[in-house]
Amino acid sequence: MYEELASVEQEKDRRNQLWAELAKKAEASSAPASVLNELKIFYGGRGIWVDKATTQGVGNSEYGVTVGLLHSGAAYADDLFDDGAIYHYPKTRTPGRDRSEVEATKAAGRHRLPLFFTIVPQRGQNRIVKRAWVEKWDDYLGLFFVSFGDQPEQPETDDEIGEDDFVLTIHRSSEERRVNRPKRAARFKYDVLQYYGESRCSMCSIRASQLLDAAHIVDVSAGGSDHKRNGLILCASHHRAYDAQLIAIHPNTYEILAASDVSLEDLGINSNSLAHLLKKPHIKALSWRWDRWQARSKFEGEPIAKDNS
C-alpha cells in the first residue's frame, strides 16, 4: 500500500514538473503541437493519451493512468465550458483499446492526478492546454465530468447528496445573470444528464448529444440554482422555445402546454407530458416557472394555453 501511494505521489510530481516545463516553453493558451509532443503531454492520434509505458502500474492500474485528453473544438463543442467539460467515452473500431483508455481515465480520477486537457480551436492552430481533473463518470451514459483549475473540486459524499437539499435560487453576480453561461455550467449539465439517466430531449426523440442542452427551469437571469432538479434535458430547439415561453409544464400533472398561437405539433414536441421521466424536476422550480407563464399570458390578454388535443 505504501509503495502504491508513493507511486501515485511520484506521478503527481512528474505531472507538476511537466506543467512547469510547458510554462517555460510556451503559453498554455497557445502551445504548439510540437511542444506537447516533445514533453509527451499529449502524443498520438487518439483523443485519450495514457503514456502506458510511463504510467502502467501507478496506483496498481494495469491500464496505466491517462495523462491527456484531446478536444477537437468542433465535436461536442457545446460540452466545453470555461469551468470544465463533459468528455465522451471513446467509441471506435477497437473496443478493447477504448475500454483500457476509459479505465485509465477513471484511474486519474480515483487517484486525484491532474491531467492535461488539450483543445484544438481550429485545424493548424496552436493548442490551448488546461490543467484538469476527472471528477465523475457514468458508464451508462458514457460520460466523464472534467473540471479545470489548479486543484480538484472537493468530492461530494453520499450524505451531502440528498433529495431534501434542493435550493431554488442562489446569489449570482451581475455577469452570471447577464450571460447564459453560469460559472458551473459544465457540472450543471453533467449532473442533469446523470440525474435523468439518459441523453435524450425530454420533449422529443432527439438523442444526439451534440444537440442537447441542460436547461434551467428557474433561469440564470433570475438567480436559478445549478441544482440538478432545477434542470431539464432539452434539444436546442425546445430549449429556445421554453425560454421564449412558447411552452410550459404544469407543476402538478407534468403536462406540456403550448402558448395560444402555436401547438405542440408546430413545435415538433411528440410528448404531451413529462410523466415518462423516471425522475422528475422539482415541483418548486416548475411552480415558479408556471406562475410566471400564467402571469405573462394574463398580461398579454391571451388564453393561458391552446388546446393541444
**Shared domain check, 179 and 230:** yes
Residues in the chain: 309
Residue located via cell numbers 479505465: 103
- pLDDT of residue 289 exceeding 50: yes
Give me the pLDDT at residue 184, please.
Answer: 55
**Shared domain check, 107 and 173:** no
| % of the chain beyond a pLDDT of 90 | 72
304 inside domain: no
Give me the pLDDT at residue 291, please.
Answer: 95
Q: What number of other Cβ atoms are within 10 A of residue 143's Cβ?
A: 21
306 inside domain: no
Give me the pLDDT at residue 307, please.
Answer: 42
**Shared domain check, 141 and 164:** no
Summarize the confidence of residues 250-269 as an average pLDDT.
Answer: 95
**Shared domain check, 35 and 9:** yes
291 inside domain: yes
Final residue in a domain of this structure, among 116, 131, 152: 152
Global pTM? 0.87
Phi and psi at residue 46, to the nearest 5°: -95, 170
pLDDT category of residue 260 using cuts at 50, 70 and 90: confident
Minimal CA–CA distance to 245: which of 225, 215, 275? 215
What CATH number is attached to the domain comprising 141?
2.30.280
295 inside domain: yes
- pLDDT of residue 204 exceeding 90: yes
Q: Model confidence over 22-54: pLDDT tens digits?
A: 999 999 999 999 999 999 999 988 999 999 999
308 inside domain: no
pLDDT category of residue 17 using cuts at 50, 70 and 90: very high
Minimal CA–CA distance to 102: which of 112, 113, 91, 116? 91
189 inside domain: yes
Give me the pLDDT at residue 160, please.
Answer: 46
- pLDDT of residue 300 exceeding 90: no
**Shared domain check, 134 and 79:** yes
Please classify residue 166 by burial: count the beta carbons closer than 10 Å to its beta carbon, then call 0-12 exposed, 13-18 middle and 19+ buried. middle
Give me the pLDDT at residue 209, please.
Answer: 84
**Shared domain check, 92 and 11:** yes
Strand pairing report for 247-249 and 84-88: unpaired
Residue located via cell numbers 445573470: 177
**Shared domain check, 290 and 212:** yes
pLDDT category of residue 6 using cuts at 50, 70 and 90: low
Distance CA 241, CA 236 (A): 9
Give me the pLDDT at residue 122, please.
Answer: 75
Can you give the residue range of the structural domain that contains 206?
Answer: 160-299
pLDDT category of residue 208 using cuts at 50, 70 and 90: confident
Q: Model confidence over 150-195: pLDDT tens digits?
A: 999 876 654 444 556 899 888 877 666 665 554 558 899 999 999 9
Give me the pLDDT at residue 156, please.
Answer: 60
Return the SS3 of 279.
coil
Q: Model confidence over 114-149: pLDDT tens digits?
A: 999 999 987 778 999 999 999 999 999 999 999 999
305 inside domain: no
Give me the pLDDT at residue 139, please.
Answer: 97
**Shared domain check, 126 and 10:** yes
Minimal CA–CA distance to 206: which of 252, 279, 271? 271
Final residue in a domain of this structure, among 126, 152, 178: 152
Cell numbers for 52: 502506458
85-89, 155-159, 221-225 — which is least confidently predicted?
155-159
140 inside domain: yes
**Shared domain check, 56 and 193:** no
**Shared domain check, 217 and 116:** no
**Shared domain check, 180 and 116:** no
Final residue in a domain of this structure, among 152, 174, 190: 152
**Shared domain check, 117 and 207:** no
Minimal CA–CA distance to 249: which of 288, 296, 194? 288
- Count of domains forming the chain: 2
Give me the pLDDT at residue 210, please.
Answer: 84
